[in-house]
Amino acid sequence: MWLDGLPPGDTDWDRFAASWPVPFGALADVVVAAWDETDPVLLELCRLRIATVLTYPAEQARRTGRAAAAGLDEAKLAALPSWPTSPRFDARERACLALAEQFVIDANGVTDELVADVTAHLGPSGCYAFVQALSVVETFQRACLTLGIESVPDVDDLTRPSPDESQEVPR
């Protein structure tokens, strides 16, 4: 680990969160809210594509329990690199994956057509929540890459702040 003095923990995330519980707890809350507001299979497919675009092998290897519980299996994940043509992916998933990839590669390149396609499948509020969730997943992965965080708990095991945490936590 590039940063000395982190306390021990089950994962890299836990070690950072133990040092800065308030901001990491707040980020954990955002991630949980993103999963709560979005179809877990859609978000997991996009999360894995984002990890590919950002070159984050540890996140590519990780699986989200909520998506597995919702029926996402390894056979479909194996076909994810060929999502534009694979029959395993329906129009709704393709619309979301297309927007997700463009969003991460160059958000300014997101077109009206990409948004309209997702809106046609998810509705306006669903599209809004989906794009917000994409932003959260991208931010989370970029933050973890910057901090050298290789191991992260599943979304429902992310460290959360306790109610009595102070407002500012010096290290």
User: Which residues of this protein are in contact with another protein, per CB under 8 A?
Assistant: 2-3, 20, 22-23, 25-27, 29-30, 32-34, 36-37, 112, 115-116, 119, 124-125, 127-129, 132-133, 136, 142, 145-148, 167-171
What size, in residues, is the chain?
A: 171
* Terminal Cα distance for the chain, rounded: 17
Closer Cβ to another protein, 79 or 169, answer by number: 169
Q: Residues 23, 147: contact at Cβ < 8 Å?
A: no
Integer angstrom CA distances of residue 82 from 30, 40, 43, 105: 30, 20, 17, 18
Closer Cβ to another protein, 2 or 71, answer by number: 2
Q: How far is the CB of 17 from another protein (least distance, A)?
A: 12
Q: How far is the CB of 121 from another protein (least distance, A)?
A: 12
Closer Cβ to another protein, 65 or 123, answer by number: 123
DSSP state of 83: T
